[in-house]
């Protein structure tokens, strides 16, 4: 399997949720963010989590095994969080990076392994379920420089659109790649 790092974006405010959704409890008692991180830790040797400057990792229930990256301008959008994470990891020795979202704890470990097995320096890999593109997205090392200059709330969508030949959708039998939490009812 190629060497792949995990970068979990978890610095957003979750305004549509109405409160800090990262602290929302799942039926098993874990916080949404802690459960998402635990899934990633099952597969990736290194899981880096992007948080706001003032976030308390203990209050968020984060495992000691994850590494924290602070984003001072997280309120300006997901692109800023992704840029902060990529700049912090630019010197890492890896072939690809899996960009995960902190509100998606239902992505199966098997799906993460399947995606990581298809990662390569010149590829952008993402899951497809029922014909829909999901998360995470794995960016090969060739795309890391572009990920260090993103702004706003678009994330890396434009990078996928401008590099269609590098994009590889991997069909997975996992509805978790499409399931995120924007509102409290999504936890049910």
What CATH number did the domain enclosing 70 receive?
Answer: 3.90.550.10
Q: How far apart are CA 32 and CA 146, in angstroms?
A: 29
Give percent above pLDDT 70 in the chain.
96
Structural domain for 110, as ranges: 4-187
Supply the pLDDT for residue 143.
Answer: 95
Residue 153's pLDDT band, with cuts at 50, 70 and 90, is low
Instruction: Compute how many other C-beta atoms are within 10 angstroms of the C-beta atom of residue 135.
Output: 20
Read off the tokens for 135.
């998360």
Q: Tell me, yes or no, if the pTM score tops 0.75.
A: yes
Cis peptide before 90 (omega within 30 of 0): no
At residue 43, does pLDDT exceed 60? Answer: yes
Looking at the structure of the chain, the number of domains it has is 1
What are the tens digits of pLDDT across the range 54-97? 999 999 989 889 999 999 988 888 888 999 999 999 999 999 99
Nearest to 48 by CA among 78, 87, 1: 87
């Amino acid at each position: 399997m190629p060497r792949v790092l995990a970068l979990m974006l978890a610095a957003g405010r979750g305004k549509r949720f109405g409160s800090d959704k990262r602290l929302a409890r799942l039926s098993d008692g874990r916080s949404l963010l802690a459960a998402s991180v635990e899934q990633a830790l099952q597969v990736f040797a290194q899981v880096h989590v992007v948080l706001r400057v003032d976030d308390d990792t203990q209050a968020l229930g984060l495992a000691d095994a994850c590494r924290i990256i602070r984003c001072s301008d997280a309120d300006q959008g997901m692109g800023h969080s992704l840029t902060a994470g990529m700049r912090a990891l630019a010197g890492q020795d890896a072939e690809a990076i899996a960009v995960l979202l902190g509100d998606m704890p239902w992505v199966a470990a098997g799906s993460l392994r399947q995606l990581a097995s298809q990662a390569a320096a010149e590829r952008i890999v993402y899951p497809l379920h029922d014909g829909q593109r999901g998360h995470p997205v794995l960016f090969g090392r060739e795309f890391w420089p572009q990920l260090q200059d993103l702004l706003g709330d678009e994330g890396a969508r434009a990078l996928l659109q401008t590099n269609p030949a590098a994009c590889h959708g991997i069909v997975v039998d996992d509805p978790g790649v499409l399931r995120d939490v924007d509102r409290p009812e999504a936890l049910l």
